[in-house]
Structure 1
Amino acid sequence: MPVLPSHNTARSALTCRYRCGDACSHDAPNRSLNTYFGDIVHQVSRRGALKSGAVLALAAAAGTAVATPAAASGKPTTPAAHRGPDRGAGRLPRGLRFEAVPPNTADAVTVPVGYAQQVVIRWGDPVLRGAPRFDARRQSVAAQSRQFGYNCDYMALLDPPAHCRGDQLLVVNHEYTNEEIMFFGYDPANPTREQVEIAWAAHGLTVLSVRTDRRSGRLWPISGDALNRRITATTPFELTGPAAGSDLLKTSADPTGRTVLGTLNNCGGGVTPWGTVLSGEENFNQYFANAASVTDPTAKQRLARYGLPTGTSQRKWERFDDRFDLAKEPNEANRHGWIVEIDPYDPDSVPRKRTALGRFKHEAAEPRLTSDGRVALYMGDDERFDYLYKFVSTHRFKKGTSRAAREHNLRLLDEGTLYVAKFTGDSPIAEIDGTGALPEDGDFAGSGTWIPLVTGNTSHVEGMAADEVYVFTRLAADKVGATKMDRPEDVEPHPHTGRLYVALTNNKDRGAVGKTGPDEANPRNGNKHGHILELDERRADAAATFFSWRLMLVCGDPKDPSTYFAGFDKSQVSQISCPDNIAFDEHGNLWLATDGAALGANDGLFAVPVTGPHRGHVKQFLTVPKGAETCGPIIADDRILIAAQHPGELDGATTENPGSAWPDGPGTVPRPSVVAVWESGPRH
């Protein structure tokens, strides 16, 4: 077994190796010299600066605009830390009246007293008709292509059509594979073709019909239902939108630049108002090899900005398919890193990669409608020092279920404007010293602007054609001076207020020698625990180009003075580290799934009110097994679903020496699974 590279994260080296190609052990690809706008206005105070004409003149000179915090609707006028000593008093809000689960390292899903749980579906369970039962020692390509894929991540639960045998449709992403704990006798230096092709079949997405047992609360998968589907790393996809057909997307196998095989590393996602599911391709770069063989300096710069490996890949897929070898197919990597859209109601439909939404390490794609009915999508680029994006469609959403309305809506994500965010703090820069200490005004807050990058075939970035902006979106955002963030991941709009909540997972390099230092939106050096940003767009309209923002949580051990829980009494909150996927319940509470908790305990699922006297009162609802990550939470009114990804993914673990026995018990291999949790007693 090869020696795993050293790394500086809370995750095991095994996880880092297979999920993202050990990205954190390499320099972040963003080498741009973007200046945080707060550096320009650091000599002026919060009370007067943002209202002064001098500062607005500076903003115009810097090529951006600043809105005062009061310009955005709904922002509290009093800092959260200054709301009085009785903030923690009163009964907890509905949906949060459970006994918090303490931090632990159990090899199990641990839920509150009074709750029941069930494994709904595991890696390898049958999905399509003819799929065999899972046998870890007798895996095959034919079997895996009909079975539930590996490493479940984002999930969506949809109402079924009339002819479906189930109560609902469950759509699940399969982010990546970890071959060392999947296959007996796996040699990382010499994988077999069969192992590689099984891994291809274990990537992608699953569409699954499920039925609810009203008596027990269990959720049963319906194997072989007509709507069930497996989408894999070899499923044909259509490239759509303004960059489709670009020379940058053409390969020898696809000289038209319009058809791609497969989707890779699918992470966050969303559900559209017309009932399709969006899925973000994240760490796609790790699957490709031999970037060093590309000699053109422009192409080389572009590959480096996306972190493409200079030598062989971890999984050695290039040995079995030339499309993963950049020496032979230099454009193939450009065909990954998109938002994909699938129609779960039509198992014969061709899934699409939407080029108008830009190409980067996509996290999140949760839409909301503008006041005039257009569609806005918010997307994070999950890399240290990368950016937060928004897309607003040109055309309006059409209500109804007619064929004409559906065909119209299925084109909405092909035409619009792509933006990137620039943040401005409202405190003097000297008060943001990297320790996490609150500035004098009592909270981290400010304003910002959405900078347009491209609209249709019109580029707004000097020196870049429109198709270059779409395919190399990171480089376009570098040029316009976007704000470098601490791994922006999931972005969710509040169901009642429209405010946006952004999970920033961590950034160990913030403030390191030669690296970008702290700013008010990313205030901690060596930020290993992450934070939650709350963003208000002007007039609560998703079409706005100005916004105000504040940090709601600065995560970590509540005893650490650098943490912040919206001003709530820190002696009453659960510790939380590395927020990743987020969701809302019907009551408007925010739920946070963690990835790589750096506090010595297993990852978990947490809930926190975002309004009222308990704003900031974080409570841990569950924990996942050893080595696992909490993913894809669905917070329904009668149950909670989570995806327990990569259980047992610990250093030194192999199939022969597993790091976990979950979910099937001793003597079995660990299997990523979807878990349902529901209240077994009377509801509060």
Structure 2
Amino acid sequence: MTTAPTRPNIPITPVNRHGSRSRMTCLFRCGNACDHPEPNLTDNGHIQQEITRALARRSVLKGAAVGSGALVVGGAAATASGGLAAAAVEPARAVAGDLATSVFSPVRPNKRDSVTVAEGFTHSVVMRWGDRVLPGAPVFDAYKQTAAAASMQFGYNCDYVGILPLGRDKALLIVNHEYTDENLMFPADTYTPAEIKAIAMVNHGMSVVTIKRGLVPGDWQQVTNLRNAPHNRRLHIGTPFAIVGPAAGDDRLKTVADPTGRAALGTLNNCAGGTTPWGTVLSGEENFNQYFDKSGDLDARYTAQYARYGITGVGKGWSEVDPRFDLTTDPHEPHRFGWIVEVDPTDPKSTPRKQTMLGRFKHEGANIVIARSGHAVAYMGDDERGDYIYRFVSADKFDPAKTVKARRHNLTLLTKGTLSVAKFVGDGAGDGSYDGTGSWIPLCTDTTSYVEGMSVADVLIFTRLAADKMGPTKMDRPEDVEPNPVNGKVYAALTNNSNRGKPELPVDEANPIASSMVRASLGAPLTAASGNRNGYVLEWTPAGGEHTAAMFTWDLLLVCGDPAAAETYFGGVDKSTVSPISCPDNVSFDSEGQLWISTDGNVLGSNDGIFRVPVSGPLRGQVRQFVTMPRGAEACGPLITDRNRSLFFAVQHPGEIDGATFEKQASTWPHTDDFPRPSVCVAYKRR
């Protein structure tokens, strides 16, 4: 049987291979996805006319950047930290207003082992890995972990953060637990390999936790008296999920344990998500391919399908604990992952559901907007180099009534409708902007497939292969995709793509950067690296402002990186006034419609962080860093709530730096123990 080692010996190297991620993060989080051949072997999006226009446009942008006051690489105006130009550094000023309206001095790039928020604000840790969620859960002890205890405690590596009000002074905190790092979690020579696997398996999933207001406006704390927290819940690898929608019951979803194809156990590698207008939470199953082993040959019926999803049979050894993770004996089990799952946090006895109508791929998440027509529209990204952006439009309309009947109806909205994939075309206008038009290509409805040779179930179970046939645009790791509730536009974080510009991924107008400026460490000079290393933020406007429209216009709001780099672009604002930003991952909005961005994999030498960006007016595109993460951590979330008084965010994989082990930690954040504990935080105005 081929398995990954329990405590792999990962060598320390001076330069990370992909972004600033450590080798540990690459291995544990996504199974070294970027080291494998690109799964998408089509030539979709490779239009020579667009390539030529993009290269010309890049030259125009370069000239415009210098003319707008951009820093010059190696020039006297460049700062060692990659921050704002010296002339643009603002003195500390009093914070006026809430998170949406306050004026704050940006947090400087740094490598501190702490959460650092803008002056005038502070933060609290709300929940940590191992904190008690359910009655009967023991107090966390790193030396006495068990799978049974972990099933009642807050899971590892929190990602998506959602909040649902629960009366006036309480709320439900809903959090994804994406993956585990056995090197940092377990003391050596304390657990058997089987115990480590079983505990790690349960630390995946989701948590629902009751929180209450703190003494300071904007602060929130966990409810520690669990008798007062009946909604608390842990969803993990043993939690029953219903498979619903058109593909439910298909033979390829049937397994030894579930001959119906309608009842899956567990959810894996949950990344981003969203809260629906009917009060449920959607969570995306992302890098699920890395969890399956093989004890022999793989099923030849699925050679192409496995390859397109990156399923190789080199997993985490989980089949030694649970035989359903052996592809040789249970080849359909991976088909039961890679979905959007829907959870009702207000009903702890409800069965969460895997929504097959939203397609199967490496979902970053899904976010819902109710169109003017009344239909529910979900936007989704497939987080892989060269993969696509998707949209779902419900067949039925949302019922806004506050009745049991209306909610029962709304809970069916994601089971019927139309799934489409996006194509982007540049305008070639030579106006100094990356922009153009786009269209939604239908893949299927719940009753009809538009992909030749594929049934509805084929399209939904193997969505990547269906989309490949329809000519959409290959994108640079489309992650979080969210509609802006204020201006009606949609924003997508395109994190990076180190292969952009290679023959298999030539540039186009929507993905224009083939060489980026990066830093080896904080204070080091900018140097050139191949590919799109810093990412983009894509903005599009549905035709007529209607989210169900077949067409849209688009532009790149941000070409991320250091303002000293000529290739960067910040909505047209003076680049001497912006913070450097690299590798956007998740996006959110405050009540003013401003964009909040969290980053993952900063290649500019600093820790990752969260940034506020106006999307309209004279400051459109002015990136301002609000908070930085501890050493080795990425920023997840973020979520602005409580009338703009609270910024919730997750600190994922603190201390995940090459060479770190439980005995030799690179971080101890949040500094409550001598090892790091991934946690959810809330930032708010200092009293």
Tell me if the contact between 2:492 and 2:537 (Cα under 8 Å) persists in the aligned partners: yes
Amino acid at match of 1:290: K
**In the TM superposition, what are the counterparts of 1:443-454 in structure 2 within 5 Å?**
443-454=433-444
Q: Which residue of 672, 675, 686 corresponds with 1:669?
A: 675
Aligned residue number for residue 61 of structure 1: none
Tell me if the contact between 1:500 and 1:534 (Cα under 8 Å) persists in the aligned partners: yes
The answer to whether 1:248 aligns with 2:248 is: no
Tell me if the contact between 1:211 and 1:219 (Cα under 8 Å) persists in the aligned partners: yes
Amino acid at match of 2:381: G
Partner Cα distance (2:550, 2:369) in 1: 15
Aligned residue number for residue 146 of structure 2: 140
Summarize deviations over 1:337-364 as a string: whole Å, max 9, x none: 0000000010000000000000000012
Pairwise CA distance, 1:113: 1.4
Q: Over aligned residues, Cα RMSD in angstroms?
A: 2.7
Higher mean Cα deviation, 334-343 or 196-205?
A: 196-205
Aligned residue number for residue 113 of structure 2: 107
Q: Unpaired segments of 5 or more residues in structure 1? A: 48-79, 429-439
Pairwise CA distance, 1:309: 2.2
The answer to whether 1:647 aligns with 2:654 is: yes
Aligned residue number for residue 32 of structure 1: 42
Match of 2:161, SS? strand
The answer to whether 1:130 aligns with 2:136 is: yes
Pairwise CA distance, 1:215: 3.8
The answer to whether 1:522 aligns with 2:511 is: yes
Aligned residue number for residue 635 of structure 2: 630
Summarize deviations over 1:134-184 as a string: whole Å, max 9, x none: 11111112211111111110011111159xxx6111111111111110011
Q: TM-score, normalised by structure 1?
A: 0.88
Aligned residue number for residue 545 of structure 1: 550
Partner Cα distance (1:603, 1:45) in 2: 29
Partner Cα distance (1:102, 1:457) in 2: 53
**In the TM superposition, what are the counterparts of 1:38-437 in structure 2 within 5 Å?**
39=49, 95-160=101-166, 167-185=170-188, 192-215=193-216, 217-223=218-224, 224=226, 225-290=229-294, 293-296=297-300, 298-310=301-313, 312-313=314-315, 315-427=316-428
Tell me if the contact between 2:288 and 2:338 (Cα under 8 Å) persists in the aligned partners: yes
Pairwise CA distance, 1:95: 2.6
Amino acid at match of 1:333: P
Match of 1:459, SS? coil
Amino acid at match of 1:517: P
Evaluate the alpha carbon distance shift between residue 622 and residue 292 of structure 1 in structure 2; reply closer, same or farther with a 3 A threshold: farther
Partner Cα distance (2:271, 2:338) in 1: 11
Amino acid at match of 1:120: V
Tell me if the contact between 2:179 and 2:269 (Cα under 8 Å) persists in the aligned partners: yes
Tell me if the contact between 2:560 and 2:568 (Cα under 8 Å) persists in the aligned partners: yes
The answer to whether 1:567 aligns with 2:572 is: yes
Match of 2:365, SS? strand
Partner Cα distance (1:217, 1:382) in 2: 33
Summarize deviations over 1:604-648 as a string: whole Å, max 9, x none: 000110000001110000101000010011112111111000000
Tell me if the contact between 2:204 and 2:236 (Cα under 8 Å) persists in the aligned partners: yes
Partner Cα distance (2:482, 2:64) in 1: 24
Q: TM-score, normalised by structure 2?
A: 0.87
Evaluate the alpha carbon distance shift between residue 664 and residue 43 of structure 1 in structure 2; reply closer, same or farther with a 3 A threshold: closer
Tell me if the contact between 1:136 and 1:669 (Cα under 8 Å) persists in the aligned partners: no
Tell me if the contact between 1:228 and 1:347 (Cα under 8 Å) persists in the aligned partners: yes
Partner Cα distance (1:198, 1:519) in 2: 45
Summarize deviations over 1:268-310 as a string: whole Å, max 9, x none: 11111100000000011111123982242x5111000000124
Summarize deviations over 1:51-78 as a string: whole Å, max 9, x none: xxxxxxxxxxxxxxxxxxxxxxxxxxxx
Match of 1:539, SS? helix
Pairwise CA distance, 1:650: 0.6
Partner Cα distance (2:549, 2:416) in 1: 18
Corresponding residue pairs, total: 628
Tell me if the contact between 1:122 and 1:671 (Cα under 8 Å) persists in the aligned partners: yes
Evaluate the alpha carbon distance shift between residue 455 and residue 216 of structure 1 in structure 2; reply closer, same or farther with a 3 A threshold: closer
Partner Cα distance (1:441, 1:664) in 2: 51
Partner Cα distance (1:44, 1:601) in 2: 29
Tell me if the contact between 1:211 and 1:220 (Cα under 8 Å) persists in the aligned partners: yes
Pairwise CA distance, 1:457: 2.4
Match of 2:123, SS? strand
Summarize deviations over 1:634-669 as a string: whole Å, max 9, x none: 11211111100000001011111111011125x611
Tell me if the contact between 1:374 and 1:394 (Cα under 8 Å) persists in the aligned partners: yes
Amino acid at match of 1:648: G
Partner Cα distance (1:8, 1:471) in 2: 30
Tell me if the contact between 1:36 and 1:424 (Cα under 8 Å) persists in the aligned partners: no
Tell me if the contact between 2:434 and 2:555 (Cα under 8 Å) persists in the aligned partners: yes
Partner Cα distance (2:617, 2:378) in 1: 28
Pairwise CA distance, 1:35: 4.0
Evaluate the alpha carbon distance shift between residue 212 and residue 40 of structure 1 in structure 2; reply closer, same or farther with a 3 A threshold: closer
Amino acid at match of 1:602: N
Between the aligned residues of both structures, percent identity stands at: 51
Partner Cα distance (1:113, 1:42) in 2: 45
Amino acid at match of 1:450: W
Summarize deviations over 1:436-472 as a string: whole Å, max 9, x none: xxxx311000001000001012110011111010000
Tell me if the contact between 2:54 and 2:508 (Cα under 8 Å) persists in the aligned partners: no
Pairwise CA distance, 1:222: 1.3
Tell me if the contact between 2:273 and 2:284 (Cα under 8 Å) persists in the aligned partners: yes
Aligned residue number for residue 84 of structure 2: none
Tell me if the contact between 1:150 and 1:672 (Cα under 8 Å) persists in the aligned partners: yes
Evaluate the alpha carbon distance shift between residue 442 and residue 621 of structure 1 in structure 2; reply closer, same or farther with a 3 A threshold: same
Pairwise CA distance, 1:38: 6.2
Evaluate the alpha carbon distance shift between residue 492 and residue 196 of structure 1 in structure 2; reply closer, same or farther with a 3 A threshold: same
Higher mean Cα deviation, 667-676 or 148-157?
A: 667-676
Partner Cα distance (1:45, 1:199) in 2: 46
Tell me if the contact between 1:457 and 1:467 (Cα under 8 Å) persists in the aligned partners: no
Q: Which residue of 22, 31, 35 corresponds with 1:21?
A: 31
Evaluate the alpha carbon distance shift between residue 186 and residue 487 of structure 1 in structure 2; reply closer, same or farther with a 3 A threshold: farther
Pairwise CA distance, 1:186: 6.5
Summarize deviations over 1:112-133 as a string: whole Å, max 9, x none: 1111211111000111111121
Partner Cα distance (2:615, 2:155) in 1: 35
Partner Cα distance (1:661, 1:276) in 2: 34
Pairwise CA distance, 1:102: 0.2
Aligned residue number for residue 483 of structure 1: 473
Pairwise CA distance, 1:2: 3.9
Q: Unpaired segments of 5 or more residues in structure 2? A: 1-6, 58-62, 71-87, 515-530
Partner Cα distance (2:351, 2:329) in 1: 27
Higher mean Cα deviation, 617-626 or 8-17?
A: 8-17
Aligned residue number for residue 11 of structure 1: 21
Match of 1:293, SS? coil
Pairwise CA distance, 1:41: 10
Tell me if the contact between 2:125 and 2:679 (Cα under 8 Å) persists in the aligned partners: yes
Tell me if the contact between 2:69 and 2:576 (Cα under 8 Å) persists in the aligned partners: no
Tell me if the contact between 1:393 and 1:412 (Cα under 8 Å) persists in the aligned partners: yes
Match of 2:539, SS? strand
The answer to whether 1:458 aligns with 2:448 is: yes
